[in-house]
Amino acid sequence: MLKTPSTDRYRVLRRQLSEDGRAIEVHWADGHRSTYPFKFLRGYCPCADCQGHARKALNWQSPEDVELVGVRMIGNYGISPQWSDGHNTGIFSDNHLRRICPCADCINWTGDTESISPLPE
Ligand SMILES: [Zn+2]
Ligand SMILES: [Zn+2]
């Protein structure tokens, strides 16, 4: 049988704010839905300033301390969040977003070389 083309895995159909306004939801072309709490996204910021410690920095602030001020679309391949701490240089490509999806299915997925840690308590 044909498998879902891997490009669908990284293609975004839709991005939206979660109902509680504390997370970004992404609907993927392969049918998957991801929810990224702001705190989680901030900790995984891929920009040069945050890189290197981003994957260990999930507890760098309490969830109450960081708010999403806005989101800039970067062409059709990513988003750039503006945070209440003034940080706005991180660009989350669709590929990056899918790789850091914190759901159990994605954490256990072994089709990619990059592995991630589960969400902190
Ligand atoms: Zn950053
Ligand atoms: Zn997932």
42 pLDDT more than 90: no
Ligand nearest to the CA of 36: 2
Residue 59 inside a domain? The answer is yes
Structurally, the chain folds into a number of domains equal to 1
Q: How far is the CA of 6 from the centre of ligand 2 (A)?
A: 14
The count of C-alpha atoms lying within 13 angstroms of the C-alpha of 109, restricted to the half-sphere facing its C-beta, is 17
How crowded is the C-beta side of 49, counted as CA atoms within 13 Å? 9
- CATH number, domain at 55? 3.30.2020.30
CA nearest to 75, candidates 94, 51, 48: 94
How do residues 70-98 score in pLDDT, each as one tens digit? 888 888 788 999 998 888 999 999 988 99
**Region class of 52: left (phi > 0), else alpha (psi between -120 and 50), else beta:** left
How far, in Å, from the CA of 109 to the mean position of ligand 2?
9
**Residue 21 is assigned to a structural domain of this protein:** no
Ligand 1 center from residue 62 Cα (angstroms): 17
- Is residue 86 included in any domain, yes or no? yes
Contact 79, 73 (CB under 8 A): yes
Residue 11: inside a domain, yes or no? no
Cα 106 to ligand 2 centroid, rounded to whole Å: 4
Domain-embedded: residue 33 = no
Domain housing 96: 39-107
Q: Model pTM?
A: 0.75
| Closest ligand to the CA of 119 | 2
Where does the pLDDT of residue 55 fall: very low under 50, low under 70, confident under 90, or very high at 90 and above? Answer: very low
Specify if 24 maps to a domain: no
Say which ligand is closest to the CA of 116: 2
Q: Is residue 72 part of a domain?
A: yes
Structural domain includes residue 3: no
